[in-house]
Structure 1
Amino acid sequence: MAKFIKTPVKGMCDQLPADMRLREHVLSMIKTSYSRFGFTQIETPVMEHIENLTSKQGGDNEKLIFKVMKRGADLARAIDAGKGELADSGLRYDLTLPLSRYYANNKEQLPSPFKALQIGPVFRADQPQKGRFRMFTQCDIDILGDNTNLAEIELVAATSDMLSRIFSEVGITDFTIHINDRQILRGAAKNAGFAEEDIASILISLDKYDKIGLDGIRAELTENGYDAEMVDKYLEIYQNLGDMSCAEFCRDIDAECLDPKVITNMDEIISSAKTMVADGVKIVFDPTLVRGMGYYTGPIFEVTIDDYNFSIAGGGRYDKMVGNFCGQDVPATGFSIGFERIITILKDKLENGYKIDSDNVAILIHKDVTLDKKLEIFKEAKELRQAGKTVTIQMMRKNMKQQINMLESEGYTEFKKVYND
């Protein structure tokens, strides 16, 4: 007899009823909040062509693809050939690349600009840990077809509004939105003398700023063979950052390396977004913010909460990705919500879990109740449900106290015990 394994695959989770109540409540708030900003929901398949997933657009995520092998005769031919790719598709590692393919394929039927909301599972063969899974839900909003900074301002305002609504239920009012621009990151590297082809490698090291600091970055860059004087010049701009504006940080970057319009654009995004966020939400220019995806071309964002060592949202502008599919660049920018991480934080704060709305009725029927009496109860339950109440009907257990305690933990507040008259 085959041995069955009752636990889920590593890095993937079963969701208990209490978990699903919380998840569905948060998803409802996300959809309601984003719809107020004009975003409309779409859906893309969880599986993508392997050529799309391995196009060097996804950064380190391309190392974490769950590949799907060819089937039947196609797989047999690939094996017989002894070379080439055995996979022809894979599970998506994010929602941005599928959205770009979706837009290129359907753009004639979509408005411009197009404000998309996409919610669904993504998959990464990552090392599981708290707040990080191999299968998890992402929630993305994107604006395609708008090349002005109004797109970034809308994304920051909408995401801030949504997070404020969700976290206010557990008493969290403060979080920080970090903003930078990939062009500023490139400009700082070019100003120090690094070649264009080296910038991607340089930014991989800078992305570790929070973990290894400037000394660690200096050591890593030197070990990678970069000139020590060039490295020192590069890192000098990142000394004593404090709470500085974009203009203050960029004052020593030559105009040949960085268009001054980038600085003006950054200041406009930050000052405009600040007028639309709730009290307690900070928006800061963060010159060390990198974002690992290779497809970002302009402003980038990340959201953090004190006392948690992971970001809860991130995104940025990716004006070149759609063009990979249709041959014509389309301005695009998006914000991705770390749904699982938000759920992790909420569960930390909700000592007794999330309960369904109050004023819900549990009807407990004794085992000896007659059919006629049951029919009366079923009619009564129908009327209560039509009136908008949640009603569950259960047979009464011997240990009724334990049964009621369990129902109370699920949010039931009204109990009707039914016996024969």
Structure 2
Amino acid sequence: MIRISQLANSVKPSATIAAGTKARQLKAAGVKVFDFSLGEPDFDTPKHICAAAEQAAAGGQTHYTPTAGTAEVKAAIAKWYKTFHGLDCGPENVIVSNGAKHSLHNALAATVGPGDEVIIPTPYWVSYSDLVSMTGATPVLVTTTPESGFKMSPAQLRAAITPRTRMLMLNSPCNPTGTVYTRAELEAIVDALDGTDAAILSDEIYEQLTYGAAKPTCIATLRPWLKDRTITVSGASKSYAMTGWRMGWAVAPAAVVKAMDTIQSQETSCPSSVSQAALVAALAGPQECVAEMRKEFAGRRELTLGLLGQIPGVKLPAPEGAFYAFFDVSAYFGKTFGAAQVTDSLTFCNALLEQAHVNLVPGVAFGAEGFVRMSFATNRATIEAGLAKLKEWLSTAK
């Protein structure tokens, strides 16, 4: 009998992927499911990006590339950061990986380990704490609330810092809350780290998806000293509808990129050659496709806010970025739905899926019990019908 490792036993399955799997199983059985679990745009990858991949494949760009990515894709990423954020970086500061999650993993594996602490504000994306724990480091969770806009204060950060603190993980715009820190708020946060040797791992993958007055901020640009203390992670999955292409990247000090390169060389050898060609086209090509998708997401956001606002007992802070609604359903805890007793966000989501065939992700997976996450990265008809089912189901509570 093959024994399963301590590492494998200690890692929890991704809650969002698990929720999506349950929905697919019901769909395979012929059940109509309103699936709001996965953070995946429903748009096809723009045609000019696909054409670049087809051209690369037809032209023989199907072999191994340098571990950290081709010269062309690294140059495209560096130019993008200069154009959009005013951040100067060279090829030695860029590494391309198989998705932003892979970039996060490699960044953590290259910089923290047993005995180290990594500060993470909650609610947080489901993978953060496990990715930290996989290195042997300890995630230190800092609770935020709807009253604070789900934003960690400088005072909270200072209180969490210990001699073992090696890194702060931030995500703005945030999955799952849609929170977007202002530039001034981020300046106050990073200034709380001045005088320490803690680094920042900034997950900025939703940076092109903000609404209203909210604007994204590249943390590495906030202070001159931050360029040497920040690992910026992003990717093409959300803004360019390229989830399946698995293109993520990190911009970091050269020594960190070199360490990530070494780790990646043993893991995957290199990112997909054809996907890298597609990424060059995404970053260097026309950007109207991003604007069009962002406009549609903004409309879906308004629709979602309006419909959820009509449901008694649901409390929803308005998201300023990304494409999620993270709302409080704790008013329904202790209620019975059919034969199901709802006591927490997990039992709530399980009963909702089984009885009404609406799929949401429990807030406990994001470190925030009492809430559920809904992705509105799907068409408006599905949003309208799914939220009508949710409202109807909630009305049966006893």
Same fold (TM over 0.5): no
TM-score by structure 2 length?
0.24
Higher relative contact order (CA 8 A, sep 6+): 2
Q: TM-score, normalised by structure 1?
A: 0.23
